[in-house]
Every structure is written in C-alpha cells, then in structure tokens.
Structure 1
Amino acid sequence: MSKELSQQISYGDKFKDFLRNYRDSTGIFKYVERIHRMMNMDMSSLNIDYPDLYRYNTTLAEALVDNPDDILIQFGDALKDLVSSEDPSYAEKKGKFHIRVYGLFDTIKIREIRTSHAGKLIQVEGIITRMHPIRSKMIKATFRHEKEGCNAEFYWPSEENEYIEDKIEKPTICPVCGEAGGKFTLIKGKSLYIDWQELTVQEKPEDVPGGQMPRSTPVQLIDDLVDIARPGDRVTIVGVVKLQQTGVTSLSPLFEIYIEANSVKVSEKVLEEISITREDEEKILELSKDPWIREKIISSIGTTIYGHWDLKEAIALQLFGGIPKQAADGTRIRGDIHLLFVGDPGVAKSQLLQSAARVAPRAVFTSGKGSTAAGLTATVVKDSRTGEYYLEAGALVLADGGLAIIDEFDKMRPEDRVSIHEAMEQQTISISKAGIVARLNARASVLAAGNPKWGMYDINKPFPDNVTLPPTILSRFDLIFVVRDEMNKERDQRLARHILDVHSDYDKFTPEIDPQLLKKYVIYAKRYVKPKLTEEAKDLIESFFVTLRGSALSAGNQEGGQTPVPITARQLEAIVRLAEAHAKVSLKNEITEEDAEEAIRLTISFLTSVGLDIESNTIDIGIITTGSSYHSRRIMSLVVDTLKRLTEDKPCAKLDDLVDEIVNTQKIQKDKVIEAIQKVHKEGLIIETRNNCFKPA
C-alpha cells in the first residue's frame, strides 16, 4: 500500500473517529446527534464546528485547511459510510454527502486574498451585493461510445471521486471496451447535475480604508447552499480559493481568484458580527452606572464641534434607537429613528454627519448629489457576458441594521428621493424589474442634512417655503432641526475661541468615551436592552398628546370653526421611540417619566421650530404633512370654491375678478390670495385656459 493511500485512509478513519466519539461540555455525543437529525430532516450535509475538530485532532484540522479539496471528499465518504451502516437505502438515495465547516479561527479580509491562498480553506466576511440566478452544473457527464461492437454508456470522469471542474473534456479511450476509435456522444439527459449559483461578496463598509474603493470577490455556491442568502445580507463564508482563466482563449496566462463556498452563515441578528467579550461587558455595565453617562455619550459625538447639544443628543438617541415590534398578524412597527438637519451653510452639519458615521457600529455614508434611486435602494443589472439579470444592493440595503447617512439631501433629484419613501416607513426595498420580483430588508435609520432653498434660512417664511423637500418625505422624519447661523457677540466670541483652540491644541479634544468602547456599548444596548413603558411614562405622554390637541380644539370652537391639527399619531409614535432610546442609553429596563420628559422636550423643540404657523403663531403639523399651513389650505379651498361659482355661466374667470372677489368677501390680504392661486394652479386644481383666465380642473 502506498504512503499516499494509507494517509487518505487514515484521514477518513480519523474523521469517523471524531464523528463517533466527540462529546460536548455536557457529555453528549454532539455529531452522532447531528447525523441523526440530518437523516430525520432528509438532508445530505453535516455542519462541523472547526474548533471542535481542532481540539479533538489538531493534525486533522490543519490538514483540512491546507488541502481541503481532497480531505473534504474523504470526509464526505467517511460520513456516507457511517450513514450507510445505519440506513443503506438512505445513503444510496442521497449518493453524495457534504461536510460544511464553520468557525475557522482566522478571518481574512477580502482585499487581502492573494494567490498564496489558492487551494486553501479560508474564511471571509462581507455583504452580498450581487446574486445571479440558479443554474444547473454538470458534475458527471454520460457519454455513449458509438462504435460497432460497443455502444456502451458510461460516466465521465470514470473515477468515483472525480468531477467536472471547469469544462467538459471528451474521453479519448472508452473505459468499457478500452478502444480509442469511434465517436463519443454526450447524453445530457443521463448526466448528473447539481444546483449552482454565483454571488458577489463585497467588503463591509466599516472595513474599507478611508478614501479607497470597496473590494469584492466572486463566490460560487453549489447544491444545498444556493439561495441561502439574498443581496444586502451580511455573511460569513468558509470556502476554497480557486483560480479561473479570465481570457477568451485557453492560452491566456491571466487567472482571477474566486471562492468555492463550503459553508455560508447569514448574520440574522443586527450587528451580530461584532463580538463583545466578558471584559467588554464588565466595562459597559460599569459605564452604565455613571450618573452622567448620557452627557458623556452625547459629548463624545462631534467633540471638536461647538454647541449643537440638541442635535448631538438626537444623534445619540438615533444610534441606540427604539424597539421594533412585530404584531401577531405580521404588522411591523419600526424602532429606527429618522433625523433631518436643515440649516445655513457653515454650521457644521456635514461634520456632525461624519462624526455620527465614525461612532455608529454600522454606517453607510452617501451624498445626495452623487446618489441615484438605484444606488440608494437596489437595481437589476444585466450581465454583459451571459446576458442574465441579477440583483445589486444599494446603500440603504447595505446599511441594514445600521445608519444610512445622506448629506446634501436637498440636492437629490425628486425622482431619486421618492425611492426612499418605502425604506423609511416600511423598512423594505421592493424591486420588480426584468422578471425579478424581490423584497429586500432596509432596516436602517436615516440621518440626512440639507441646505435651505435660498441659501440662508428665512425665519419670516414657513418651513416648507424654506426647503425644496416634499411633505411626503418630511413627514417620515421623527425629528427635524433647523440650524441657523445666528449672530450674537458673546456667542460669536465663544465660537471663535473654540475653533482657534481646536486648531492650536486639537490633541486635548478627546471624547469622554473611547469610540471603540462606545460602539460596543451601543451594540450591547441594541442587542440586550428592551425597556418597557411604565404607567407614569404612559400617563405623561398621553397627557401631552391629549392636552396639545385639546387646546387647539378649544381654540377652534371659540373661533366657531375648524382648527389646525398640532400633532398626530405619527408624532406620538416618534415620542415613544425617543423615550425608548433615552432609556436604552443608560441600559435601563424601564422607561421612566424622565425619559418621557426628554422625548417630549425634543418633540416640542421640533414642532415649534418646524411646525409653527407664522401667521397665527400656533403649531400646525399640516405644515410638514401637507406642505401648507391650515390658513394657507383654507385660502386655497376658497380660491377653488370661488372660481367654481364665477365660472357657472362662463368658460373662465379673469385673475383680477377672482382676486377682488375673495379680498372683498373674505377680507384676506391680496398677496396671500395671489400666492394661493399660484399654489392651486401648480397642483393642477385649476387650469389657465388663456392668459390670466382660469377655470376649475
């Protein structure tokens, strides 16, 4: 017996020994149980934890990493022998068995894969950005030897453990009759096939060095691994590094690296890939006992940025987020908090966004100017080589479970901005193109910033007139902050001194909490802390909601008519999310009055700066949800009703007649009426039939 053959036999026997005899910490024969479970579930793959194999037989585990192709075949044969000893018919029915290896000790970055890894078993982490359709791959070809006296049919390659790799090579000699003459015809219907699929796995955004493009690698899945994940999923892949020619001809000396997957693990939980050790947990719990923990976390965001405490607090609450809920009927209530900053140039909006990206455990940073609808959500792309269509994930899908940051939000094209509506509320991305219908997860918090329409924010105009954003997108943000560059001698002096200190002695501006520890603190809170509303917090939020709406209702009754709506159920849900996040900051299991009060304070700040009707000096949420205040909508309604009355007996009414009629009967300022006419005309409620002559639509 040759040394090579004896080595192969020993590897198979050693693996059988491992499967039969390995016990876990409780004394159970772990893999005997798994084999029985595999057979009960009618499967042909057995999952192996690499640390178990390494502890049991280090030589065997190291040989698996160095020479995976041969040893995995031996392992599969060894498993088949064990199954056959218990149920021969089951082993014969399945034919081939697979060993799926999980949990290698070293994870190699995608950008660090080199030629030296070829033929080795490695582990990589990344995000699936492309997914090709499933195809069938021939692993054993059936040929017929068309020669007089033979006509035999046989599998090719003829050896039991050899399979077709890159392309089908016709046999030159018939293994049945042993002769070379005659024609060898491929019989497709009798050949053996397996499912085959190709993915593209890209580096995680947080792993990409600053200023560099993310790298990706092709990954091939076979058999029961196909369709195990989808674009946007974060995966850990264990596989064998292979080489394939990139040139058109077989003479090309260039080869590209790809990974033939042995196992694929999808990160089901948010931020599962970042591990928290026992030492980390002790530091986190100790930190949470600090009575000033909230202030320290807030001050650790944008350390070099002067002021903007409310904005930093809002970012901190966004990092921790509320608690997502799933009702019994499948209805999902989001826990993610969406923020929008609108303000003058030079007030550090972009700096704040960059600070949030550095602190967040998972963040994708994009700019509205350079983002399209497809780049933000997902798209269907045609492969130039094969002509197939495949899915490619965008920024919101890649940010699933983290923070999607969009700077220059106002510079986005309207048709591109519309694409994120579903992602913000339903937290999914629906795609239906080129015959591909898919729904991808986009459970991300959106942090956006933009400039006012006229360059500087005009406090004499309502919020919708200061921005180019439609009400459909504004209403989906939980908090909107107007950031103004106000001139005040004392404040300007402090600001100048702060900036000069940063430039002259920037080393002393260190965050209160180390960024890496803060990231793990956020992950711990999101993973393990699920605070519940106390009755006191419920009563406080309920009282605020009812009182605010009640005061507007009583004012409307005194005026003898309708009234602006100051707050809706959507803002009520936002208050609950903010209160939950505030409690999670200090790792509390209960949401107290203190948490509810802070959530209400931020909401009032938002409503009074953004939802304030300048004319009546009252809060009107309609300014955000519809783009117009209650008084503006009332004048617009009067315009349409008056125009209907004036055009009962004529084709159209002149602009001057329409304006005079409303000004004289309703005592409304002329410029307000003209502005309302322009709005209803823009919205298509009235039509200009000829110059300055209108009729209802």
Structure 2
Amino acid sequence: MMEIEYEDILNRFRDFFLAYPDVSNPKYKTYIDEMKTTEKKSLDIDCDDILDYDPELYEAIVERPVDVIPIAEDALKSILLGEDVFVRFYNAKSEEIEIRDLRSIHVNKFIQVMGIVGRSSEVKPEIVEAVFQCQRCGHIQIVEQIEEFFKKPGICENPACGRNGPFKLLEDQSKFRDWQVLKIQERPEKLRGGRMPRRINLIIRDDLVELAKAGDRVTVTGILKTVQESTFKGKKTTFRKYIDVNSIRIEDQDVEEIKIAKEEEEKIKKLAQDPFIIEKIASCIAPSVYGYPDIKEAIAMQLFSGVLKELPDGTRLRGDPNILLVGDPGVAKSQLLQYASRIAPRGLYTSGKGTSAAGLTAAVVHDETTGGWALEAGALVIADGGIACIDEIDKMSKDDRSSIHEAMEQQTISIAKAGIVATLNARSAILAASNPKYGRFDRFKSFAEQIDLPPTLISRFDLVFIITDVPDEERDKATAKHILDVHRNAGEVITPPIDLELLEKYILYAKINKFPVLTKQASRKMHNFYVQLRKIAQDRDAPVPITARQLEALIRLGEARAKMRLSDKVEAEDAEAVIKLFKNTLFKVGIDPETGKLDIDVIMTGKPKSQRDRLIHLMDIISELDKGDGISLEDIIQEAEREGMDKNFVRRAIEEFKQKGDLYEPTPNKFKVLR
C-alpha cells in the first residue's frame, strides 16, 4: 500500500483529469469544461480508467478512500477554481461484493454493492459548518461537523473572553447540505435456499439525493462505515454497518446482471433452431410434476412475456400476461408457482396467508434512522421486470387483494400517505393460485360461484386454469408411476430437456433482444377468432362471449410465444397455438352451467347473463307485488315459483338485494322496494 502524501496524490489526480487517455484527447477534461458552463456538481470517473492509468492510485482509493477521495475533489476544485464539486467513482467491479458478505475487513474500504431500494427516507438538511456566537462577548466562530453527532465549541476563541459559553447556533450563516437515507436489500434472483434478503443502510448526500426511489435496482459505490450500537445501559461492543455513498447508478430494468458470454449466445441461437423448442421449454417447468402441458406452456410464455408498449399519449399497454391457477387440493399448484419463481431471471414467491397489502405493494413506515416517514417497496415493486408468484391468493383479506388491481393492469403502484405521494413501477407478471371455495370443484356450478375472488380481480388474469382431481385410470397409473420414480430416485436430479442455467439466460436474451410484431397472417387469425365469437352475441338476448380485454391477452401471449422461438415476428402458428390454449381455458371457465353457452360475464362480473336476467325478472315481480305496504317472503316465493324459479335461488337473491340496498326489511320476513 502506497503512502498517502497530499501533494503527490493531488498532482496524480490533476494529471489524470487533464491527460487521460492522452494529452491530445483528454476524456475527462471535456467533462470538466462542461461543468464550467452547467450547474452539474459531480464528475463521474470510471474506475477502470483509473486502474488503467495509475494502478497505485486506484489501490489508494480502495484502501484509503476516507483520505484519498477528498484529495481528488481538491484536485478538481483546483482546476475549476470553485467549491462544492464532487468526484464520483463508479464501475468498481473488482471491489463488488454481496451485501451478506460484508465483513469487518471491509470497514473503511471502498466497495461496490448491488441491490434493490427497499426504503427511501425524506430529504433532510445536514449541517456541515456550524456558525456559533458566544452569548457573553458576541464572538463568531465556525465548527466543522465531521463526526456523526453534533459538535459545539468547547471555549470561546476570543482571547478577551475565553469562557465556555453559552453559544448560540446561527442557522442562517451555517452551511448545510442535503441528506437522505436509503435501505437496499439483496436481489431476489441472488437468493437461494429460502434465504432472507440482507439489508444495509445507505447515506446519500448532496446531488445524489432523490436519484433512486423504492423499487429501483441500483449499483452503489462508497465507503463501508460503522456506528456503535447502544442501549439504555450504555454503548455496546458491536457496531452497525452502513455505506457512505460516493456514487449511485440506477440499472436499466431490461438489462440484468447475468452476463451472457459469446459461446452461450451461440448455444442460445442454436437452441432456438430446434423445431420442438416450445415443447422443450414447457417441459423444463417443474419436471417433477407430472402432466399439465397446457399450464406449463402458459407459464413458459409468462416467463418470456409479451412486449410493453407506450402510446404517444403516454398510455402504457402491458406486455406481461397474468395467470391464475384454481384447483382441487393436492394438484401441485404450489410446486408450479415455486418452480416458476426459481427459474425466472427475476422471480419472487409469496403466500396469501402471510401477505398484506403493504407487503405486496408499498407502505409508508416510520424510519428509526431519520425519525421521519419513509416509503418501503413491496413484493410487486421488488419483482419489477420479472414474475411475482402469489400462492393461496384467496386467503388474503378483501382489502389486501384490492390493492393489486392497479398493479395488474396499469403495472404501477400509487401511494399517498403521511404526506408522501409517489407512483412506483410494478412491471411484473403475476402467477397466482387459489383453491375452490367449497374444497373441490362442482362441475354443475359456475366458476364464479366456487371461487372466493371478486370478478374485478379475476377479469385481470389473461388465462384462468381449472385443475380438477378427477379419477382416470390411465392418467392415475402414469401419475403414480411418475411420483414413485421421483421418490425412488430421490438422490438423482430429474434432468430437464434444457440445462436450467442456460434456460435462464435464454429467457433473459429473449427479453432483452426480441420485440416481436404481429404478422398479417397472425393478426388475421386473431381477428377472425374474436369476430366469430362476438357474432354469437348478435342476438339481443345472447350473452357476450368475449371482450377486447381477451383480444389483448391473445396478442400478449402470441408475442411471448414468438419470443420463445427468438423470433422477431408473431407468426400464424403462434396465433393458432395461443387461440387453442385460450379456448381450452375459456370453455372451462366461461361457460354458463344453466345454458351451456359461452358467457364472458361469468369471469367479468361473476354472474352469467342467464342469472342476471333471472335477478332482473325477480326484482320486477317484487316491485309489482309491493303496493307500498310491503310484501311477505312467502308471497314472493309463491309468485317466483309460478315463474319457474327455485325458492333457494329466491332466498339468496333477496339477501343480495338487501345488501345492495334495492330492498329493505322493515319487519321480519316482510320486504319493501327502495324507490
């Protein structure tokens, strides 16, 4: 380690600023000249350039940053002939370390960490130079605030006074700078084996404040520092770590940290030429789970996602498909979700039982560090750009579930609490699982009656799969054999058709490089499918089988399937495949059990048209019978039965009318219409 001599280090930095890579083409001299004509206060330095120019100087930055970085700023000030300028060192890849691996040997060293901003505090003024006035003689003196805690003068510097105060702080003459605390946590894709993400506080100052918000992925360089922990009994022997930030850079949401080598890129392109690539990728989804080819293919499409579009008016059309799995107990829903979260380049798994609205979206929390309020990101914000798997979504409370409506369609989280108003990105696909309300599915009842989820939420899913456990001898034999083989060979890894590490990079490559567009042939097939289904509803009394929302879902799925082939175009074969998949789900979920007809209102409103018509007819009957004095329940049931209605349906309908406020019950079993 070189000795730190102020003049030597100062001259080295000056030479670097003015002569790198050579005097005739000084890279940073150009940036410095720009600083003279703009209000920019920081000079960003690539650490690779320092390492290339002067390895000893780079080593000094890493080993003695507390001493060396201020000298670098002095060198910059000597060129600019001004104050309040900063030197920001970024791209210190050789010093990059995971948050959980930070140790005592890294204290007071220059490091680089990557993570997700989980919490951001309000910006506060921090005093740098405190100006005090002696209350006895009026003498003014300045005390630099270098330490964490506020420092007051010991004695008056006036020789004629020399007293120890009292002193008054003159705030209007003191020097302040902006100060903010961020808390970052480890990236979910770096966590394995159910580890809890580690967190660390960042102290942000000056022009770096408010650059990053909750949910942003950041690369941070700075000095690892410590502050002694204490209790009411006194100071402890342990210290709390934090990073005094020198540079913070927000990573592009589309560019992941996983590096794809040239050889791997060649493998990826070769793999895409396989005519059975779609089937092979789908087979890689939870290979230990037998069957479900349609569901696995749909999850594979979700991992690749469609194309996010922004219209000229600022409207955002989401590209991520949302998928809901509803099934009987023991059909491997949770396994599918957990596997999808692991295989995705950016995946996150959570369960509805232990999830709140704040945990899913965002929350305003009291910050112990600052004493103020801070914005904390939830699971959907942290999974931005990836996939969020929510198991047992039906077990969440109604209020908590309603919080994800905006995230599913607009892919943003809006929050306005405790004076904090913010909109966070939540551009993640949602894969959710739910159980039937009564334990198992009854094929004679409508889908909406059997699931404890509101229609407003169900309608935001592009695909809804019903998984029933129906005895079937051939399937049961195959399932039993598969399960027994898995357990018998528990020590052996079930080998998927594609190596999972390569598949992760394949997905990543497709998401970064491929933005397929619809061909005329694919567009025509989707158009014809939509129009033909809509024709069914031309009769005035016919139910509506499909809406524009489902057409958009088809487009998203078609784009995702084209990405699976690494294609720049959505071909007719993609359109045919997603239409077939869509039909398989729609004709299971969207059928009115009374009429046997396809009715999208089963999903969109929770009631098929036939049931809505009966409710309207029943309300007409009650209105005719009510002459102002009210009508008894027996009379309503008697008249409704004449019209062919079941008395149990009538009782349920009356309860619904009461809840909506269409009817009220002035005395037991006597009802009046609210006019």
Place the TM-score, normalised by the shorter chain, in its bin.
over 0.9
1:135-150 residue pairs with structure 2 within 5 A?
Answer: 135-145=124-134
Deviation at 1:199, TM superposition (A): 1.2
Q: Is 1:513 the equivalent of 2:498?
A: yes
Deviation at 1:685, TM superposition (A): 2.9
Contact persistence 1:147–1:182 (CA under 8 A): no
Aligned to 1:101: 89
Contact persistence 1:271–1:361 (CA under 8 A): no
Deviation at 1:127, TM superposition (A): 1.2
1:469-480 residue pairs with structure 2 within 5 A?
Answer: 469-480=453-464
Unaligned stretches of 5+ residues in structure 2: none
Q: Could you state the TM-score of these two structures normalised by the residue count of structure 2?
A: 0.95
Q: Report the more deviating stretch, 100-109 or 566-575.
A: 100-109
Aligned to 1:127: 116
Q: Is 1:615 the equivalent of 2:594?
A: yes
Q: Is 1:651 the equivalent of 2:617?
A: no
**CA 1:51/1:501 → structure 2, altered by over 3 Å: closer, same or farther?**
same
Q: Report the more deviating stretch, 8-17 or 166-175.
A: 166-175
Which one of the candidate residues 669, 687, 690 is aligned to 2:667? Answer: 690
Question: Which whole-Å CA distance do the structure 1 matches of 2:309 and 2:194 have between them?
Answer: 38
Question: Which whole-Å CA distance do the structure 2 matches of 1:46 and 1:10 have between them?
Answer: 21
Q: Is 1:272 the equivalent of 2:236?
A: no
Which one of the candidate residues 93, 96, 103 is aligned to 1:114? Answer: 103
Q: Is 1:355 the equivalent of 2:339?
A: yes
- 3-state SS in 2 of match to 1:618: coil
Encode CA deviations 1:68-115: one digit per residue, 9 max, x unaligned: 11111110011111222xxxxxx2xxx121111111123211111122
**CA 1:170/1:670 → structure 2, altered by over 3 Å: closer, same or farther?**
closer
Which one of the candidate residues 216, 222, 243 is aligned to 2:205? Answer: 222
Aligned to 1:662: 640
Aligned-partner residue type, residue 98 of structure 2: K
RMSD: 2.1
Deviation at 1:659, TM superposition (A): 2.8
Aligned to 1:155: 142
Question: Which whole-Å CA distance do the structure 2 matches of 1:375 and 1:228 have between them?
Answer: 23
Q: Report the more deviating stretch, 430-439 or 621-630.
A: 430-439
Aligned to 2:473: 489
Question: Which whole-Å CA distance do the structure 1 matches of 2:667 and 2:55 have between them?
Answer: 89
Deviation at 1:681, TM superposition (A): 3.6
Contact persistence 1:139–1:165 (CA under 8 A): no
- 3-state SS in 1 of match to 2:325: strand
Aligned to 1:88: none
Aligned to 1:542: 527
Q: Could you state the TM-score of these two structures normalised by the residue count of structure 1?
A: 0.92
Unaligned stretches of 5+ residues in structure 1: 85-90, 158-162
Aligned-partner residue type, residue 156 of structure 1: V
Aligned to 1:76: 73
Deviation at 1:671, TM superposition (A): 4.7
Aligned to 2:15: 17
**CA 1:542/1:252 → structure 2, altered by over 3 Å: closer, same or farther?**
same
Q: How many residues align?
A: 669
Question: Which whole-Å CA distance do the structure 2 matches of 1:385 and 1:52 have between them?
Answer: 36
Which one of the candidate residues 208, 211, 235 is aligned to 2:194? Answer: 211
**CA 1:381/1:650 → structure 2, altered by over 3 Å: closer, same or farther?**
same
Contact persistence 1:612–1:620 (CA under 8 A): yes
- 3-state SS in 2 of match to 1:400: coil
Q: Is 1:259 the equivalent of 2:246?
A: no
Aligned-partner residue type, residue 167 of structure 1: F
Identity score, percent: 45
Which one of the candidate residues 492, 497, 517 is aligned to 1:532? Answer: 517
Contact persistence 2:154–2:164 (CA under 8 A): no
Contact persistence 2:628–2:672 (CA under 8 A): no
1:305-316 residue pairs with structure 2 within 5 A?
Answer: 305-316=289-300
- 3-state SS in 1 of match to 2:178: strand
Aligned to 1:641: 620
- 3-state SS in 2 of match to 1:612: coil
**CA 1:582/1:209 → structure 2, altered by over 3 Å: closer, same or farther?**
closer
Deviation at 1:668, TM superposition (A): 4.2
- 3-state SS in 2 of match to 1:437: strand
**CA 1:170/1:619 → structure 2, altered by over 3 Å: closer, same or farther?**
same
Aligned-partner residue type, residue 63 of structure 1: A
Question: Which whole-Å CA distance do the structure 2 matches of 1:48 and 1:176 have between them?
Answer: 44
1:672-691 residue pairs with structure 2 within 5 A?
Answer: 672-691=649-668
Which one of the candidate residues 161, 171, 182 is aligned to 1:188? Answer: 171
Question: Which whole-Å CA distance do the structure 1 matches of 2:439 and 2:24 have between them?
Answer: 71
Encode CA deviations 1:295-336: one digit per residue, 9 max, x unaligned: 111111111110001110010000011111111111111111
Encode CA deviations 1:513-560: one digit per residue, 9 max, x unaligned: 12121111111111110111111111111111011110232xx3xxxx
Question: Which whole-Å CA distance do the structure 2 matches of 1:339 and 1:579 have between them?
Answer: 15
Encode CA deviations 1:326-351: one digit per residue, 9 max, x unaligned: 11111111111100000011111111
Question: Which whole-Å CA distance do the structure 1 matches of 2:10 and 2:270 have between them?
Answer: 50
Aligned-partner residue type, residue 640 of structure 1: M
Encode CA deviations 1:563-591: one digit per residue, 9 max, x unaligned: 10000000010000000001010110111
Question: Which whole-Å CA distance do the structure 2 matches of 1:528 and 1:597 have between them?
Answer: 24
Deviation at 1:180, TM superposition (A): 4.1
Question: Which whole-Å CA distance do the structure 1 matches of 2:183 and 2:428 have between them?
Answer: 22
Encode CA deviations 1:445-467: one digit per residue, 9 max, x unaligned: 11000111111111111101111
Contact persistence 2:121–2:370 (CA under 8 A): no
Aligned-partner residue type, residue 556 of structure 2: R
Contact persistence 2:19–2:25 (CA under 8 A): no
Q: Report the more deviating stretch, 637-646 or 561-570.
A: 637-646
